[in-house]
Every structure is written in C-alpha cells, then in structure tokens.
Amino acid sequence: MDCIHLTEIRCYGYTGYLPEEQVLGQWFEVDVKLWLDLSAAAKSDEIADTLDYRSVISLIKDLVKTSKFALIERLAGAIADSIIQQCHEVTQVQVKLTKPAAPIPDFGGKISIDLTKTRTK
C-alpha cells in the first residue's frame, strides 16, 4: 500500500488537562501518514486521482483549533476518525500529535502520541 506523509503541521489549540491550557491554548505539531492506492495518480498526473492534501491539512488545523479535550490522546483520535470518515480513499491513518511545550515543571522535552486507525468495512 502507498503512503502520503504530511509533517510538521503547526496548529494553535486548546486541548490540555489543566484548565489554563483550555483557556490560554498552546502550539501543537501534527504529522500524519495516510495509506491509500496511489497507482492511478502515479500514471495520470491528475489531482482527481489522488488525495487533496490541502483538505486534510485544513481538517487537522480546524480540529486542533476548535477542540477542547482534556487529553491529547482524545485529540489524536478525533483527527484520525475525521480523516477516515471524510477521506474515503484512505484505508489507514497514523497520527502523531506532539505537544512541544507541555506545562510540566522541570520538563523541557516534548510529549507525543502515535495513534493508528484502520478503516473497517
């Protein structure tokens, strides 16, 4: 199966366990892998034969911006579910959602969630 990678999609959103995270917001980074058949596009050179990346990027940015979940696991799941629901040619999606500046004392690293969903028949 073929795969499209969209990486480093930066979005500002309001998901977080602490109440101030849902008020002040923070930056998130999203990477997605989309599995689908690209053989027609590889031959035709026509956008109609592939997935329009712009629509997936807009979907992700809109979800991050408008969602107010406590857990980034929930946000990653919502992104994966929305892509599977709206992009019928995608058979599997992997979402990597990163919180680059989590408000945890004495922690300067990043927190990431990798979540994979497969279309059910």
Dihedral angle over CA of 4, 7, 11, 14, nearest 10:
80
Catalytic residue from among 61, 99, 110, 121: 99
Query: DSSP assignment, residue 70?
Result: S
Q: Other C-beta atoms within 10 Å of 34: how many?
A: 23
- Decide if 110 is catalytic: no
CA atoms within 13 A on the CB side of 26: 21
Task: Single out the residue of 69, 58, 86, 73 nearest to residue 25, CA to CA.
Answer: 69
Give me the active site residues, please.
99
